[in-house]
Structure 1
Amino acid sequence: MKRAHVISINVGRGVPRPYASGPTTAIDKGPVAPDTVVELRDPGPKRGGLGSGVAGDDVGDRRHHGGAQQAVYAYAREDQQWWEVELGRPIPPGTFGENLTTVGVDTTHALIGEVWRLGDVVLKVEVPRIPCATFAGHMGIAGWVKRFSDEGRTGAYLSVINPGVISTGVAVEVERPDHDIDLLTSFRAAMGDLDAAARVLGAGVLHPDEHAWLADKVARRSR
């Protein structure tokens, strides 16, 4: 089995873009130098906190992005390579706005609450990425939100349970909880699949804020 590790740590500075949902966007991220030591920390609440859980990284629209449950975004290099074939163009690490580009870690079927240990740093899988107009504008592909959603290779948003520093190449040790609610199921639930939502809510595995958001979404659709 391929050794699970981080092949790239990516950060971005907020800059104005015509497609940005906020005053700036930092979705265009680039790798730090391989020997750079990067701090991962709990950024606090979405509004009023630090934004990103990665020191040196910005969050442009803090109404919808960043905060404790979206502190760090990880995407599998294997899925980027799949997209390279589909799109017929290179997808370098950081292109999808991810902070961590991984190898040997399944970021589509990671379980909610799954723990990742990166040396002394401990992260927890929280929610899938919901594609937005900023992502579509950054990619410059017509119908990108639907295309990305239909495929379901969402990547993983993680919270920071134990802060610390990492560098490129750090191993990722995964501890999976005793349930079967993965990010893809949670994503389908968030996108309006009521059967998936019933499974997710019934399992009680989401953070309380995310659980309340999904329950409210289901209640409004059911009226």
Structure 2
Amino acid sequence: MSEVSSAPGRVVAVNVGRPREVTAGRRRVTTGIWKEPVTGRVRASGVNLEGDEQADRKVHGGFDKAVYAYALEDYDWWSAELGATLELGTVGENLTLAGVDVTNAVVGERWAIGSAVFEVCQPRTPCHKLGLRMGDAGFPRRFAAAGRPGAYVRIYSEGDGGADDEVRVVHRPAHGLTVVDVSRARSNDPILLRRLLAAPELADGWLTWAIERALKEFRRNPLDHDLRAALRTRLLELGLESGEVDAALDGPGEG
């Protein structure tokens, strides 16, 4: 992999944590959102950093949510917005990065950190557990509205890293779809849908959503030939036969 021409960023902190029980109203909830900085080298392998776990693997963790990255610059913004300094790891990130535009990272962009390589694949969609961590049930909505989602990354190549390591962008796809673009995709913009379909590195959950939404949009507007072409290309690349794809696209429309 050749390095993309840009100044390297820096790992400010590597944060890990194990699930714990916390009180949420009258309930006890198990969550892994509490993360704390650790010293030394940390191994990245499989779907986790060493010492890190998720409480509910149905919605957290796994291949497409192995590691969560957040920018120090976004922490600075939140500190000004909230009038209080947030400790690193507060929003549940594993990697706190400086000098890396995490929100505008391109889906499929790869970061070399230490001996490991990570691949950007989707934004974070905040759930109620971020509200628990912040002591504010309304904070997840505020976090989403701020347009600073951070990025989930896959472990593309196993290795180890630590605080003060450089972050080097070693690959950046040409399609240009960014993390924040994906976070705005539910706006029903057909042009943005086509861009999601053109990003093969996108997380499976988002790709499935984009295909379903694009099929629905195309059936409402079968004259959108660009959307049809984008859908056809993506479905063929997923392994469907040409006849199956054409049947799916040329079936009866809505209404």
Q: Could you tell me the TM-score, scaled by structure 1's length?
A: 0.86
Q: Equivalent of 1:31, from 12, 32, 37?
A: 37
Taking the aligned partners of 1:208 and 1:146, their CA distance within structure 2 comes to 24
Distance 1:131 1:220, change over 3 A: farther
* Counterpart position of 1:17: 22
Structure 1, unpaired ranges of 5+: 44-52
Taking the aligned partners of 1:213 and 1:183, their CA distance within structure 2 comes to 16
Distance 1:22 1:63, change over 3 A: farther
User: Within 5 A, what are the aligned runs for 1:79-118?
Assistant: 79-118=74-113
Taking the aligned partners of 2:147 and 2:24, their CA distance within structure 1 comes to 23
**Per-residue deviation at 1:213?**
3.1
What is the one-letter code of the residue matched to 1:84?
S
**Per-residue deviation at 1:184?**
0.5
8 Å CA contact 2:42, 2:162 repeated in 1:
yes
8 Å CA contact 2:182, 2:196 repeated in 1:
no
Alignment deviations for residues 16-58 of structure 1 (CA, whole Å, 9 cap, x no partner): 123499952111111002xx11100122xxxxxxxxx111011
1 or 2, which has the higher helix percentage? Answer: 2
Taking the aligned partners of 2:132 and 2:215, their CA distance within structure 1 comes to 31
What is the one-letter code of the residue matched to 1:26?
G
Distance 1:179 1:204, change over 3 A: closer
Taking the aligned partners of 2:122 and 2:34, their CA distance within structure 1 comes to 21
8 Å CA contact 1:10, 1:100 repeated in 2:
yes
8 Å CA contact 1:124, 1:158 repeated in 2:
yes
What is the one-letter code of the residue matched to 1:183?
V
User: Within 5 A, what are the aligned runs for 1:58-137?
Assistant: 58-137=53-132
**Per-residue deviation at 1:75?**
0.3
**Per-residue deviation at 1:183?**
0.4
Residue 214 (structure 1) aligned with residue 210 (structure 2): yes
Taking the aligned partners of 2:177 and 2:119, their CA distance within structure 1 comes to 14
Q: Could you tell me the TM-score, scaled by structure 2's length?
A: 0.75
Alignment deviations for residues 94-143 of structure 1 (CA, whole Å, 9 cap, x no partner): 00100000000011100000010113211100000001111112112252
Taking the aligned partners of 1:197 and 1:145, their CA distance within structure 2 comes to 24
**Per-residue deviation at 1:2?**
6.8
* Counterpart position of 1:177: 173
Structure 2, unpaired ranges of 5+: 1-5, 221-253
* Counterpart position of 1:194: 188
Structure index of larger Rg = 2
8 Å CA contact 2:175, 2:195 repeated in 1:
no
